[in-house]
Amino acid sequence: MQQTKFNRRDLVAAGLAAAGFAALSPPVPALGQGAALPLTPSCDGKAAVTRRQTEGPYFTPSSPLKPDLRGDGAGEMLALSGFVLTPQCRPVAGALVDLWHANVGGDYDNSGFRFRGHQFTDAQGRYQFLTRVPGLYPGRTRHFHVKVRAGRGPVLTTQLYFPDEPGNTRDGIFDRALLMAISAAEGGRLGRFDFVIAG
Ligand code: FE
């Protein structure tokens, strides 16, 4: 399967069913529903690079290696997962994915690392965070902040959004290209987003 290209949607579905996601089963059993979908060796070869967005005022460098942020506060659980891919839809292994977001009350932890953590994509280019749905704060719609970096390459700084969020249309930073696919799961929500980074 070396150099095989995959359809991005199928990659995510298959990835969620893989062993690395099995740990999610107790809180969100529906995560395994992608199991029946096969990998499809097809790709248009020109996936759009994920758009950059402002970092905002609340980034803290050197977050801990911590894919499970659920213990950082209250709120509805959300499993955020997907792939880091090249524009040719090839998974990028070992890519840094750094996530930070507000707590359920809309506040950032600016003195510590609650709801701040990073991880590295696995050999198949997958990442997964377990966290809580961020709260709202004045002037912004609901969002995650993310930085993605492959090796010593350029840092992609962007934000992710929730579909059907009333505040989206009132937020001048909001970009529908950065909408996660959100679905309900027992015990919380699933959020899926694939990052496509320039080589
Ligand atoms: Fe923010």
The residues near 198 (Cβ < 8 Å, ≥ 6 apart) are: 49, 87, 153, 154
pLDDT digits (tens, 9 = 90+) for 187-198: 999 999 999 998
**Residue 30 main-chain phi, psi, to 5 deg:** -65, -10
C-alpha 135, offset from chain centre: 17
Mark the residues whose beta carbon lies below 5 A from ion ligand 1.
Answer: 56
**Closest of 163, 157, 158, 113 to residue 141, by C-alpha:** 163
Q: How many A from CA of 115 to the centre of ligand 1? A: 12
Distance 172 CA to ligand 1 centre (A): 13
From the CA of 44, how far away is ligand 1's center (Å)? Answer: 33
- The lowest-confidence range among 15-29, 76-90, 175-189 is 15-29
How many angstroms does the Cα of residue 114 sit away from the middle of ligand 1?
14
Radius of gyration of the chain (CA): 16
Residue 174 CA to residue 158 CA, distance in Å, equals 11
Q: Which domains does the chain have, with CATH numbers?
A: 8-33+41-196 (2.60.130.10)
Global confidence as pTM: 0.82
Q: Which two tokens stand for residue 166?
A: 């009333």
Residue 19 has pLDDT above 80, yes or no: no
